[in-house]
Amino acid sequence: EAQVTQNPRYLITVTGKKLTVTCSQNMNHEYMSWYRQDPGLGLRQIYYSMNVEVTDKGDVPEGYKVSRKEKRNFPLILESPSPNQTSLYFCASSVLVPHNEQFFGPGTRLTVL
């Protein structure tokens, strides 16, 4: 089954404790992206990657890191999480550029205390 998987689905952590949210897709997609969803703000792009070893900032990259060492994986790293990073996070992938339909993962609900 073609899908985007994220882990964990739910995470409660404390300020400053480094964490990684994993994202994996099995569709051989070149383009991958991370979004956060907040009430009244919709989905905002954090980082995206056009291909292996190619990443770029989205609209709200501060406080986040990403890497793309393999085509299928695109982890999101919070080196020192803060409460304003409490949000619902989605990973997405698509063929080439985002003009194509993006496939979203199920989401990760992160709470930073």
Taking CB under 8 A as the criterion, which residues in 15-54 touch other proteins?
33, 35, 40-45, 48
Residue 17: name the closest of 110, 83, 108, 80 by CA: 80
What's the min distance (Å) between Cβ of 103 and other proteins? 8
Could you give the count of Cα atoms lying within 13 Å of 3 in the half-sphere of its Cβ?
A: 6
Alpha helices in 1-113 (DSSP H): none
Q: Are strands 108-112 and 10-13 parallel, antiparallel or unpaired?
A: parallel
Q: Which is nearer to other proteins, 75 or 105 (CB)?
A: 105
Q: Does 102 bind other proteins (CB under 8 A)?
A: yes
What's the min distance (Å) between Cβ of 25 and other proteins? 12
Q: Does 101 bind other proteins (CB under 8 A)?
A: yes
Q: Residue 21: helix, strand or coil by DSSP?
A: strand
What's the min distance (Å) between Cβ of 61 and other proteins? 12
Q: Which is nearer to other proteins, 63 or 98 (CB)?
A: 98
95, 29 contact by CB (below 8 A): yes
* Residues near other proteins, by CB under 8 A: 4, 33, 35, 40-45, 48, 58-59, 90, 92, 98-99, 101-107
